[in-house]
Structure 1
Amino acid sequence: MTSTVEPLLLGRSMGSDEGSLGFCSVMLVTTVLPGAPAHRILFDTGHAGRRRALIRELHRVGLTPGDIDAVVLSHSHWDHVQNVDLFPRARVLMHPDELVYAESPGPDDLGVPPWTSSLLSAARPHPVRPDEQVVAGVRVLHLPGHTAGSIGLVVEASDGLHVLTGDAVSTAFAMGARRCAAAHHDLRLSEESIDLVGATADVVWPGHDRAFRVADGRPAGYLVEPTSLVFRVRGRPASPDDLATSPRPAT
């Protein structure tokens, strides 16, 4: 059995005075069993503003949305779930507590608009439990705190255990500080979830950051160098003036 993790869309922690860009990590987990076809799992799907980029990245690795066997949604926030409808053939997996949470999110949680439950219902998600095996070498890890039913995946890779965390561990800084970016459900549980990831993982794939190694429960160095985004205005790379000024009114 061989399992690999490949980032399709990189997670980034970026915002502005008008809101977050919501660029979460979207990962492809591929497991090959002897004598069987590859089993492909997508972990989170990103938001609608990244649909073209997600399809492009699937094509880059020789896949289409129809080639994905399962979609695991780490939690119900808009930036992690909106593109789930691109994968009608896939089995969609969520923690049952998250489906309940999406109906009535925390009072400070604006990341779960009222339409979220309709989106998830249309995806016909299958409830999964802690430590449930998705496929050989890939199991579910319950990471509550950020939301009630936040989950990750533990992947048995050739270089150790890779843990995909969603926003339970949003960045390397969050793990190092033992502080969830936003504990909408329960602060104590969010800290315990960070500790669980630290005790489990050799490599962490966070929700809004690059993958990093773990030593003694703490970040121990990124696996890849940072990359830059290219912002465009009317089809050309944006200048500082473009980003600092409002668009001209239509004439």
Structure 2
Amino acid sequence: MKIVRLLPGAGIRSSIGTMGAAAVTLIQDDINVLVDTGHFGSRDKLMARLSGNGLTTRDIDAVVLTHLNWDHCLNVDLFHDSKIIISPAELEKGSLSGSMDGLTPKFKDLLKGMDLLLVSDNQRISANASIIYTPGHTPGHISVVVGVDRVVIAGDAVPNLRAYRRGMPDLIFFDAATAKSSIERIKSLKPSYIIPGHDSPFNDNGYVERDDIDIILRKENEENLVVIIRNTEADKPLVLGSEPGTPK
């Protein structure tokens, strides 16, 4: 059994809006399980990472959608040969934007035309992976618990380390008290580490891996201005570079 982080998650906010980058995680067990799919902006990266691991979309037996917020699920159409796993409450009440919108019903029609599996709490989905209900951020949010070491792939029930320590997600589209209870439930499992929706993996002692995220801004002369976001000590300076991979 193997867990592969295909795409890291990051939470990036700007003065003109939020740029969601959700974690996408592969569980290679007796079957191949993908947890979340990301959105259109990460589609090429996702396909490349699958290929780099010797896989195509047809090799993915099951896709778990932790919830229906757009940054976690929009690439699900790539997996028309896979079983799509979601909770009944999320299918009924979840939405792409966190509130009712005109696109969500059409997206749910897409899901209903796929090989859909509505899972119950504690349901096993592979030899070493099970679903747990972790609602609050959205009505039917689910997480995945893997192996005897209890690796938790948490989606936005635990979007980042600060939310884990705070005991509350950054954003709540359903119910705060329920969201708090879901984090408490994850903590009670005493996981060896957590793969959050928008941060590097961590455990009770802090980060166990540290992801660098490059934000690339193209200038009028075609030069790239690169801002590298790094999990590091607060007194370390922000790193800037003129081209990707060449920080100054």
Stretches of 4+ aligned residues off by more than 4 angstroms: 103-107
Question: Contact (CA 8 Å) 1:78, 1:116: kept in 2 or not?
Answer: no
Identity of aligned residues (%): 31
> Unaligned stretches of 5+ in structure 1?
32-37, 215-219, 241-251
Question: Contact (CA 8 Å) 2:38, 2:75: kept in 1 or not?
Answer: yes
Residues 1:169 and 2:158 are matched in the alignment: yes
In structure 1, the residue matched to 2:117 is 126
Residues 1:178 and 2:167 are matched in the alignment: yes
Question: Distance in 1 between the 2:14 and 2:215 partners?
Answer: 16
TM-score (norm 2): 0.83
Q: Residue 76 of structure 2 aligns to a residue in which SS?
A: helix
Query: 1:47-104, CA deviations, whole angstroms, 9 ceiling, x for partnerless residues?
Result: 0111101000111111111110100000010000100011111110000000001379
1:6 corresponds to which of 4, 7, 14: 4
In structure 1, the residue matched to 2:224 is 237
Q: Residue 152 of structure 1 aligns to a residue in which SS?
A: strand
TM-score (norm 1): 0.82
2:83 corresponds to which of 88, 91, 102: 91
Question: Distance in 2 between the 1:119 and 1:18 partners?
Answer: 30
Q: How does 1:1-251 map to 2 (within 5 A)?
A: 3-31=1-29, 38-102=30-94, 107=99, 113-156=104-147, 160-200=149-189, 201-214=191-204, 220-233=205-218, 237-238=224-225
CA 1:239–1:196: 2 relative to 1, 3 Å? closer
The CA RMSD over aligned residues, in Å, is: 2.3
The residue type equivalent to 1:181 in the other structure is D
Query: 1:28-60, CA deviations, whole angstroms, 9 ceiling, x for partnerless residues?
Result: 0111xxxxxx41100000001111010001111
Q: Residue 152 of structure 2 aligns to a residue in which SS?
A: strand
The residue type equivalent to 1:150 in the other structure is H
Which deviates more from structure 2 when the two are superposed, residues 225-234 or residues 54-63?
225-234
> Unaligned stretches of 5+ in structure 2?
228-248
Matched residue count = 224
